[in-house]
C-alpha cells in the first residue's frame, strides 16, 4: 500500500525515513500536550537538538530521536543536551527494544502518525541564563522558518 503522507526529508539528508516518521509522530504528541516544537534546534554547545519543545509555562523539553540500535550505540552526544532543557526524552520506533534506553531519561515510542510516552522524564531545571538563551534560540529558529515559508527565495540566496 503506498504511503499517503510522506514527511519531507531535510535537504542535507541526515535523517533516515524511520527518524523522520518518529519525529513527526512525536511532534503530533507534543502538540496534543500543548507544546510548540521545532526540529534541529541549534544549542549553545554547538550541538543540535532533534526536537525542542516549549510549554506555555516556559518549560523546555528536548527529544533525541534514535531510529535503530546502531544509532543509539554510536551516538553519545545526547548527554550534553541535559544542560539545555528541563526534561530529556528519547523517541524511538516500535521496533526498537525499550530495555536498552537510559532509565534516567523519558521515553516515547512513535510512528508516523502519533506517539505515546512510556516513561516520564525526570525534571532538572535549567539555570536562568541558559533558559533565556534557549528561549531566544527557539524563537529565532521558529521565526526564521516561518519567514522561509513565506519567502522561500530568501533561503536560496542565503538570507538564513
Ranges assigned E (strand) in 9-124: 36-42, 48-54, 60-65, 87-93, 106-110, 115-119
C-beta of residue 20 within 8 angstroms of C-beta of residue 7: yes
Which segment, 7-21, 35-49, 140-154, is predicted with the most confidence on average?
35-49
Q: Is the pLDDT of residue 65 over 50?
A: yes
Lookup: cell for 140: 529565532
Considering the chain, what is the average pLDDT of its residues? 90
31, pLDDT greater than 70: yes
Cβ density class 120-130: b for 16+ within 10 Å, e for less: ebeeeebeeeb
Q: Looking at residue 108, what is its pLDDT?
A: 99
- CATH number, domain 17-156: 3.40.1350
- 13-35 burial by CB neighbour count: b if 16+ within 10 A, else e? eebeebbbbbbbbbbbbbeeeeb
CA angle at residue 104 from 68 to 54, to 5 degrees? 80
How far apart, in Å, are the Cα atoms of 96 and each of 69, 88, 91, 106, 136?
Answer: 7, 18, 10, 15, 34
Confidence of residue 16 (pLDDT cuts 50, 70, 90): confident
pLDDT in tens, 118-154: 999 999 999 999 999 999 999 999 999 999 899 988 8
pLDDT for position 2 = 44
Amino acid at each position: 500500500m503506498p504511503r499517503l503522507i510522506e514527511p519531507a526529508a531535510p535537504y542535507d539528508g541526515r535523517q533516515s525515513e524511520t527518524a523522520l516518521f518518529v519525529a513527526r509522530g512525536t511532534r503530533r504528541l507534543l502538540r496534543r500536550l500543548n507544546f510548540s516544537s521545532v526540529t534541529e534546534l541549534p544549542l549553545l554547545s554547538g550541538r543540535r537538538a532533534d526536537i525542542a519543545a516549549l510549554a506555555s509555562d516556559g518549560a523546555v523539553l528536548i527529544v533525541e530521536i534514535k531510529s535503530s540500535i546502531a544509532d543509539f550505540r554510536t551516538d553519545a552526544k545526547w548527554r550534553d543536551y541535559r544542560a539545555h532543557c528541563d526534561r530529556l526524552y528519547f523517541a524511538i520506533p516500535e521496533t526498537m527494544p525499550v530495555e536498552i534506553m537510559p532509565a534516567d531519561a523519558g521515553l516515547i515510542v512513535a510512528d508516523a502518525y502519533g506517539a505515546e510516552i512510556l516513561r516520564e522524564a525526570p525534571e532538572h531545571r535549567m539555570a536562568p541564563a541558559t533558559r533565556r538563551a534557549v528561549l531566544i534560540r527557539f524563537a529565532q529558529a521558529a521565526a526564521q522558518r516561518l519567514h522561509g515559508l513565506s519567502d522561500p527565495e530568501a533561503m536560496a540566496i542565503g538570507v538564513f
